[in-house]
Amino acid sequence: MPEQLADTVDPANWTCPAPLRDQPVVVMGHGGGGALSAELMEQVFVPAYGNATLAALADSAVLELGGARLAFSTDSYVVRPLFFPGGSLGDLAVNGTVNDLAMSGARPAYLSAAFVLEEGVELSVVGRIARAMGAAAEAAGVTIATGDTKVVESGHGDGVYVTTAGVGLVPDGVDIRPQRARPGDAVIVSGPIGLHGVAIMSVREGLEFGVEIASDTAPLADLVAAMLAVTPDIHVLRDPTRGGLAASLNEIARASGTGVRLQERAVPVPDAVANACGFLGLDPLYVANEGRLVAFVPPSSADEVLATMRAHPQGAGATVIGECVAEHPGMVVVATGLGGTRVVDLPLGEQLPRIC
Amino acid sequence: MKYIDEFNDPGLARRLLDEIRATATRPWALMEVCGGQTHSIIRHGIDQLLPEQVELIHGPGCPVCVTPLDVIDQALEIASRPGVIFCSFGDMLRVPGTDRDLFRVKGEGGDVRVVYSPLDALELARRHPDREVVFFAIGFETTAPANAMAVHQARRLGLNNFSLLVSHVRVPPAIEAIMTAPACRVQGFLAAGHVCSVMGMAEYPELAARFRVPMVVTGFEPLDILEGIRLAVRQLERGEHRVENAYPRAVREEGNPAAVRMIEEVFEVTDRNWRGIGPIPLSGWRLTDAFRAYDAEHRFDVTGIRTEEPAECRSGEVLQGLIKPTECEAFGTTCTPRTPLGATMVSSEGACAAYYLYRRMNAATPQAERAAREEMNPVA
């Protein structure tokens, strides 16, 4: 069969042939954290802004400023519903940016918060979100130091949008970025996956799965600091939010030119998530998380890092799910429970429930 | 979860594979009819675990794949109209029509919504009496009862702003079409368990006898599929061609009579075009005259939309098992999941999309492939 392949295509040139102009309008998938999001970034924003820092496409940018190394990140939050089991828009807006900073190894310090409010939204709702942000900031040890508020006419927004930006200091000797993944690295996930995405879906779609599924939203900077105390030589950290574990691992594989090999049975998928995904025809590997990280750790320190993670409340469910390999560069492959293999590709846009 | 885990047990899977290996003395080509089975086969890597003699051919049972282009274009036209809420199962949104898909229509301002059941669409119709709510009623015998129920309910509730764009297809006529194709290589079928759980098994003995092919009603978990393959291979080796039920926990001989009654009340059998294959006589359902008021095709007057497949797309041959996806000139070049020419590259169940992913991995490790081949056949 490989002979047929060689006859029909050139594997070395196996990239998506479609330029962005084939999509003349923004579609939902452009915000899904998958291939369409990456195209938007690479074909619209990077050429327009043109600098090496941005082109690194990490969760946060690491900048040299006044002799210090500063991590800097921004993110907008447009979740519906505004309040859900396990958290709220406010928690996400703080934890999301805190975690993006932490994924560079930074200690997050200050955040900004910008609100876009839709005319007609109750002030009590805005107050609840603000209080949730205050509490989340306190828990994460960051200060919300500045902000902004705009109001749009009724019908021109979805209630409340929040944008947070944040800065933090990167300790000396720490160099964490997707390009640093190396064959042999242990791939560790900090706990069960899929909880946030399924929690949101269950309330948004009014689906009940027998047990209440709560979002995993949580700040991860303290966990990262504990991991760095074991070894500053952690190669990659990523919080698998939109696009889930599959998107994060694909981005790392592509950025580093390595492959990732997962053991399907090692990936911690809670029963409730597995059942919900089975019902909806979704793959838990693509479902969003808001309080998990995936780490690429040199094999020499993997055991010690894992033990440290497990001793931390945010990493109690940490487990090794696979390894970084030299084979199939740029690709994520899963060894199935039965002993077969399959490719886990970058999702195109948002994951869609299957019909059968 | 324990229940599902039992159907994933690697020890049992190994035993079934050993039995299949010991049973198969010569090459056999089996077709799994249902896209859900194809998905499971690829997801668990079952095709790679089978002995070389047993080849799986992916059948036309992906409802997303076989919905004809002109119906997609009708959907796009209706969804673009002001005042319409167009509801669909999620994976139809990315299927390309002639020049766009439902995602594009949504991006351009159309009110396109993903629902999990036609009854969700019915609820939207109830909540929005000033809007026309249309549900894209595609699929095989599995989705037909719920769609029939939705129309039935709409009439009972007096909801006149609800309609179905119907493109239902039926499995048995497709099996007949596959078996009568001149270049057919299929020697046995894994029949779709979910279809039989609705319709029962009555239509299959005649097909098995006429075409002298074993037909094993098969489920969707990995062990279900391996058991289906084991029974089909055993029949082939013995020269038998019977209908066997390897999915008794879900399928009864008579199916689900209440669901069948619901279908028969609302739908009637009609000829249907299959995307990539063409017309198959009596292979679909349409709303009966009594329910014509709920037929979106007539309500929105889109019956005149008739379109042609791009000549470059060979998905029809793929769907019939006549060629492998990799034998298509467009595969992986002009046709990818990002830019699909045909629906077999769109749906995660589509054979082309599945091959695209799997072959990519092999393409990335030519040395590993070569080593494996040399090990199997050192002389070559």
Distance from CA of A205 to the nearest CA of B (A): 9
The rounded percent of chain B whose pLDDT value lies above 90 is 59
Residue among B44, B138, B328 whose CB faces A336 most closely = B44
The distance of Cα A283 from the centroid of its chain, to the nearest Å, equals 16
Residue among A16, A18, A275 whose CB faces B1 most closely = A275
Distance from CA of A5 to the nearest CA of B (A): 6
- Work out the burial of residue A234: count CB atoms within 10 Å of its CB; fewer than 13 is exposed, 13-18 middle, 19 or more buried: buried
Q: Which of A9, A42, A52 is nearest to A346 (CA)?
A: A42
Q: In degrees rounded to 5, what are phi and psi of residue B313?
A: -85, 125
Q: B328-372, pLDDT tens digit by residue?
A: 888 888 888 777 887 678 766 677 887 787 666 655 444 444 433
Chain B neighbors of A343, CB-CB under 8 A: 357-358, 360-361
Contact A356 B140 (CB under 8 A): yes
* Conformation bin of residue A266: beta by default, left when phi > 0, alpha when psi is -120 to 50: alpha
How far is the C-alpha of A26 from the C-alpha of A189, rounded, in Å? 33
Chain B neighbors of A341, CB-CB under 8 A: 45, 48, 361
How far is the C-alpha of A187 from the C-alpha of A237, rounded, in Å? 10
Q: How far is CA B288 from CA B165, B265, B266, B292, in A?
A: 13, 8, 6, 6
SS3 at position B216: strand
Which residue in chain A has the smallest CA separation from B367? A327
Q: Which of A58, A221, A82 is nearest to A162 (CA)?
A: A82
Indicate the pLDDT class of residue B321, thresholds 50, 70 and 90.
confident
Chain A neighbors of B4, CB-CB under 8 A: 274, 278
SS3 at position A111: strand
- Between B273 and B233, residue with greater pLDDT: B233
Q: B77-108, pLDDT tens digit by residue?
A: 999 999 999 999 887 888 888 888 898 999 99
Please tell me the number of Cα atoms within 13 Å of B219 on its side-chain side. Answer: 15
Long-range CB pairs of A2-7, under 8 A, 24+ apart, other chains included: A2/B362, A2/B363, A2/B366, A2/B369, A2/B373, A4/B324, A4/B326, A4/B327, A5/B326, A5/B359, A5/B362, A5/B363
Q: How far is CA B253 from CA B105, B194, B203, B283, in A?
A: 44, 13, 10, 22
Contact A25 B107 (CB under 8 A): yes
Indicate the pLDDT class of residue B209, thresholds 50, 70 and 90.
very high
Contact B63 A35 (CB under 8 A): no
Distance from CA of B372 to the nearest CA of A (A): 11
The distance of Cα B123 from the centroid of its chain, to the nearest Å, equals 27
Distance from CA of B332 to the nearest CA of A (A): 7
Residue-level pLDDT at A355: 61
- Work out the burial of residue B19: count CB atoms within 10 Å of its CB; fewer than 13 is exposed, 13-18 middle, 19 or more buried: middle
Q: Is the pLDDT of residue B377 over 60?
A: no
- Work out the burial of residue B290: count CB atoms within 10 Å of its CB; fewer than 13 is exposed, 13-18 middle, 19 or more buried: exposed
Residue-level pLDDT at A25: 80
How far is the C-alpha of A216 from the C-alpha of A84, rounded, in Å? 11
How far is the C-alpha of B286 from the C-alpha of B306, rounded, in Å? 17
How far is the C-alpha of B59 from the C-alpha of B38, rounded, in Å? 8
Sheet strands side by side (includes A160-169)? A61-65, A68-77, A160-169, A107-118, A143-152
Residue-level pLDDT at B369: 40
Sheet strands side by side (includes B54-61)? B54-61, B28-34, B188-192, B215-218, B243-245
Q: Is the pLDDT of residue B326 over 50?
A: yes
Q: Which of B292, B333, B47, B63 is nearest to A8 (CA)?
A: B333
Q: In degrees rounded to 5, what are phi and psi of residue B311?
A: -60, -25
Residue among A25, A278, A353 whose CB faces B108 most closely = A25
Residue-level pLDDT at B315: 80
| b/e per residue B221-233 (b: at least 16 CB within 10 A) | bbbbbbbbbbbbb
Cis ω on the peptide bond leading into residue A81 (within 30° of 0)? yes
Mean pLDDT of all residues belonging to chain B: 87
Residue A29, C-beta contacts closer than 8 angstroms, at least 6 positions apart: A36, A37, A348, A349, A350, B103
Whether the predicted model's global pTM rises above the 0.90 cut: no
Is A85 near chain B, with CB under 8 Å?
no
Indicate the pLDDT class of residue B308, thresholds 50, 70 and 90.
confident
- Between B64 and A245, residue with greater pLDDT: A245
Give the mean model confidence (pLDDT) for residues B223-240. 97
Which residue in chain A has the smallest CA separation from B16? A338
Is A112 near chain B, with CB under 8 Å?
no
Q: In degrees rounded to 5, what are phi and psi of residue A350?
A: -85, 150
Residue type, B289: D
Interface predicted TM-score of the whole assembly (ipTM), two decimals: 0.73
Q: Express the helix, strand and coil content of chain B in percent, nearest 5 each.
A: 45, 20, 35
Q: Is the pLDDT of residue B379 over 60?
A: no
Distance from CA of B121 to the nearest CA of A (A): 12
How far is the C-alpha of B109 from the C-alpha of B98, rounded, in Å? 19
SS3 at position B287: strand
Give the mean model confidence (pLDDT) for residues B221-244. 97
Which residue in chain A has the smallest CA separation from B37? A356
Q: How far is CA A186 from CA A72, A200, A306, B171, in A?
A: 27, 30, 10, 47
How far is the C-alpha of B260 from the C-alpha of B123, rounded, in Å? 24
CB B63 within 8 A of CB B170: no
Contact B362 A355 (CB under 8 A): no
How far is the C-alpha of A346 from the C-alpha of A340, rounded, in Å? 20
CB A344 within 8 A of CB A250: yes
Tokens of B235: 């029949």
Q: Which of B96, B135, B145 is nearest to B112 (CA)?
A: B135
- Between B307 and B177, residue with greater pLDDT: B177
Is B25 near chain A, with CB under 8 Å?
no
Q: How far is CA B157 from CA B85, B86, B153, B176, in A?
A: 19, 20, 6, 40
Distance from CA of B254 to the nearest CA of A (A): 22
Q: How would you classify the pairing of strands B162-169 and B278-287? A: antiparallel
Is B81 near chain A, with CB under 8 Å?
no
A residues 191..250 contacting B (CB < 8 A): 205, 207
The secondary element (H helix, E strand) that includes residue B284 is strand B278-287
- Work out the burial of residue A156: count CB atoms within 10 Å of its CB; fewer than 13 is exposed, 13-18 middle, 19 or more buried: exposed
Q: B9-42, pLDDT tens digit by residue?
A: 889 999 999 999 999 999 999 999 888 888 888 8
Residue-level pLDDT at B140: 93
Is B368 near chain A, with CB under 8 Å?
yes
Residue among A23, A271, A333 whose CB faces B361 most closely = A333
Q: How far is CA B353 from CA B105, B324, B331, in A?
A: 23, 12, 9
Give the mean model confidence (pLDDT) for residues B123-144. 96
Q: In degrees rounded to 5, what are phi and psi of residue B12?
A: -65, -40
Mean pLDDT in order along chain A per 10 residues (356 residues): 30 27 69 81 86 79 92 93 94 97 97 97 97 97 97 92 97 94 98 94 78 92 97 96 94 95 96 87 91 98 98 97 95 90 79 63
Residue B159, C-beta contacts closer than 8 angstroms, at least 6 positions apart: B122, B125, B126, B153
Residue-level pLDDT at B84: 98
Contact A271 B1 (CB under 8 A): yes
- Work out the burial of residue A300: count CB atoms within 10 Å of its CB; fewer than 13 is exposed, 13-18 middle, 19 or more buried: exposed
Largest CA distance in chain B: 74
Is A45 near chain B, with CB under 8 Å?
no
Helices vs. strands in chain A: H and E counts, helices first: 11, 14
